[in-house]
Structure 1
Amino acid sequence: MLVLGITGCASPKITPEGSTSIQRSAKLLDRPMYLRGDFSLWDAEDIYRLQPQGDGRYLVRARFMSPGKVYEFKIADEKWSEGYNCGYRFQGTLKIGQPLPVDCNTVYNYFSFAPDKKGWYAITLDYRDSRNPTVLVQRD
């Protein structure tokens, strides 16, 4: 079961020199986020709702029962909304204990993960740095 709340707000900031820069700040998501993949028929199910960990990280547990099978998934809200549709930024093959950069404005960038053993896995979205969020898979 997971609950995820992330959002990045951008606001212009005038510097002393008069130029404009963008300043981003991480905030809690204003909506539930879900692990959505081939194992859930891409639906937003409560069992896969991300849970906030209180420090900018969000966690969900998933049971993968077919070792070697490539599971595909994303982290998204119920409507696949812009800014809440998170997939990989550069490449999407996840390995145990190796975080990957996330882009929350993707359409097709699904993460891929092939477990070597059946069992429970923890998937963490780390949003402490809203400009460079990551996703991490660990054996639970």
Structure 2
Amino acid sequence: MNIIAKCLAVAGITLLASCSITPYTEQVKVDDRSEYLYLRGNFTWWDIEEHAKVERVEGQVYKAKVELIADGQPYEFKFADENWSLGANCGYYDKADQQVIIGKKSSANCNAKFEPFKFTPSVTAHYNFFIDFSDLNLPKVWIEQAPEENLIQQLVPKF
């Protein structure tokens, strides 16, 4: 191999290595997770979307609201940041926690790799997805059907 080919090979390897994403060696630690955490799932094509960014409810409880269609199929989801970072990649903790049911809290593992939660809505509606980080070792996830706002409330600005 001539010197130019060797240099190009080394440059290519260096470029590829610099493009890879390496998970953080330490967990993400930020007081306000609404700065970076999203609800991600097959309803967002696993992308981050502004409408699915979490908002702080109180303390370390966060929620995101999305509309789901009840077609009998389960939706898969996780709470995660843009880079699927350790400490901010929250899937189910144990197989028994995978299926989320309204009225029941499931335990989360925020160092998950592939463990998405599943939820099958019984009616087409908006749903609030919650995650509570009060116990950092075992955050809790639950879902509630969002109360429907009437059309007048939507059209009239709040004072």
TM-score class, shorter-chain normalisation, is 0.7 to 0.9
* Structure having greater relative contact order (Cα 8 Å, sep ≥ 6): 1
Separation (CA, whole Å) in 2 of partners of 1:116 and 1:30: 28
Does residue 80 in structure 1 map to residue 88 in structure 2? Answer: no
Which SS does the other structure have where 1:40 is aligned? coil
1:85 counterpart letter in structure 2: N
Aligned-pair CA distance for 1:8? 7.0
1:123 counterpart letter in structure 2: F
Q: Percent identity?
A: 31
After superposition, the C-alpha distances for 1:20-57 in whole angstroms (9 at most, x for unaligned) are: xxxxxx84338410011101110010000000112110
| Higher-Rg member (1/2) | 2
**What is the root-mean-square deviation of aligned Cα atoms in Å?**
1.8
Correspondence for 1:89 among 88, 93, 108 = 93
1:128 aligned residue:
134
Does residue 65 in structure 1 map to residue 69 in structure 2? Answer: yes
- Greater than 4 Å deviation, 4+ residue runs: none
From the two aligned structures, give the one with the greater strand fraction.
Answer: 1
User: TM (normalized to structure 1)?
Assistant: 0.78
From the two aligned structures, give the one with the greater helix fraction.
Answer: 2
Separation (CA, whole Å) in 2 of partners of 1:109 and 1:102: 9
1:60 counterpart letter in structure 2: A
Separation (CA, whole Å) in 2 of partners of 1:76 and 1:66: 24
Pairs within 5 Å for 1:1-140: 27-29=31-33, 31-91=35-95, 92-140=98-146
User: TM (normalized to structure 2)?
Assistant: 0.69
Separation (CA, whole Å) in 2 of partners of 1:81 and 1:42: 14
Structure 2 unaligned regions, length at least 5: 1-26, 147-159
